[in-house]
Amino acid sequence: MSETFLIRGARIDGGDPADILIEDARIAEVGSGLSRSGASVIDADGLVALPGLVDLHTHLREPGYEASETILTGSRAGAAGGFTALFAMPNTSPVADTAGVVEQELALGEAAGYVTVQPIGAVTVGQKGERLAELGAMAHSRAKVRVFSDDGFCVWDPLIMRRALEYVKAFDGVVAQHAQDPRLTEGAQMNEGSVSAELGLAGWPAVAEEAIIARDVLLAKHVGSRLHVCHLSTAGSVDIIRWAKKRGIAVTAEVTPHHLLLTDELVRGYDARFKVNPPLRRDEDVRAVREGLADGTIDIVATDHAPHPHEAKACEWHAAANGMVGLESALRVVQLAVVDTGMLDWADVARVMSRTPAAIGRLGGHGRPLTAGEPAHLTLHDPRGGGVFGTDDLHGLSVNSPYLGRELPGSTRWTFHAGRVTLRDGALASPEEVAP
């Protein structure tokens, strides 16, 4: 049986202070002046209580790339950042394109215990873009996969994309597209623009993303299916999603924390921590995606947590791998980019980092309101203060964070997964404490 906790004075979704009683893996009561004999009391004065964060876009690397991350270490990183559920992308080895692999990932997540690990299935066999993977088998497996993506690769063939969109309708699934025309980005090293021209690096044009999004929203409309756009990054992409939503097309979109904050100016130092796919864009694009998130055009924030070993980043820019770790820093970066700037409030953060991603992924029990009777998935965040983000803040196997040495506001203090403490006053719980 899980421990009983009484959280005193937390600001639920940033509102007025309230007490939260957690018992038997659920929220037993919410109110003022609560008491319970034998409960562990947490003084949450000044802390914001949010439903446990849900990341629709995480690379956990297992099976196959355990030198970068494992499901256990990635789960620990997620718990440290306030997450209670992670959707694991399928670019593993073997690729998560069969029922057997997604069930293996599910079991490893359950054994770790820090978060709910929900596998994402590949759209095509081996993520090669040639023929559909076993979508139905993965959907009807114990993993109950509902999100399918070839992330890292675009489903570039329009016929295969159409067939995938048609197929997932049978089980209310969604295709999550990595929008990148491969012909327009051959050899690309960074965003195409004035900085790439100055540095002499091959540019990655915004239209390579926008053209695929435009095609796919029309396909989704044609077949009446759900489309999700991964890591949207340009002003033009925001305009296309806004256009599609006005016409009732069933499209959702995500933006990463780094695309809400960082620009291609950072590439001038050739620090490969800033090399990512899609690339860091112009300041105008950063402003556009912030506005798109604020007005609801962009539905969610997703980390695209992409760990790499040291040697994959400590090399020449052109040879470095794309990707950044982001689970531990996500909430703090969102606070810096859109909360402290007044574009979103904490209730909006609960929506874009918990409720809506859980709904898109059809993940029951997560993203629920912090009310009596709901599962006790929640995080307590202190928006005050902050500090310099360093390697001590990272709990996975890789340290390729773009925020090392940067001042970030706030700190996540407590995370509860199904009533069990996974982060206790800023310190990760032991594996024995979180074991199911």
Amino acid at 392: D
The residues pairing with 118 across neighbouring beta strands, listed in sequence order, are 87
**Active-site annotation, residues:** 304
User: CA 361 to CA 317: how far, in whole Å?
Assistant: 35
Sheet containing strand 116-119, edge to edge, reads: 53-58, 83-88, 116-119
The CA-to-CA distance between both ends of the chain, in Å, stands at 10
Q: If you ran DSSP here, which 8-state letter would residue 375 be given? A: B
Residue 170, burial from CB neighbour count under 10 angstroms (0-12, 13-18, 19+): exposed
Instruction: Specify whether the backbone of 274 is left (phi greater than 0), alpha (psi in -120 to 50) or beta.
Output: alpha
Residue 154 in contact with residue 184, Cβ under 8 Å? no
Q: How far apart are CA 387 and CA 143, in angstroms?
A: 39
CA distance 112 to 71: 7
Tell me which amino acid residue 351 is.
R
- Residue 279 identity (one-letter amino acid): P
Q: How far apart are CA 75 and CA 77, in angstroms?
A: 5
Which residue carries 């090669």 as its tokens?
128
Q: Which of 181, 143, 88, 212 is nearest to 134 (CA)?
A: 143
Which of 253, 434, 224, 247 has its CA nearest to residue 357?
253
Q: How far, in Å, CA of 80 to CA of 43, rounded?
A: 19
Which position has the token pair 């403490």? 421
Q: What element of type H or E holds 252?
A: strand 251-255
Number of neighbours of residue 311 by Cβ within 10 angstroms: 10
**Measured distance CA(394)–CA(144) in Å, rounded:** 30
User: How far apart are alpha carbons 21 and 4 in whole angstroms?
Assistant: 7
Please answer whether residues 392 and 88 qualify as being in contact, where contact means their C-beta atoms are separated by less than 8 angstroms. Answer: no
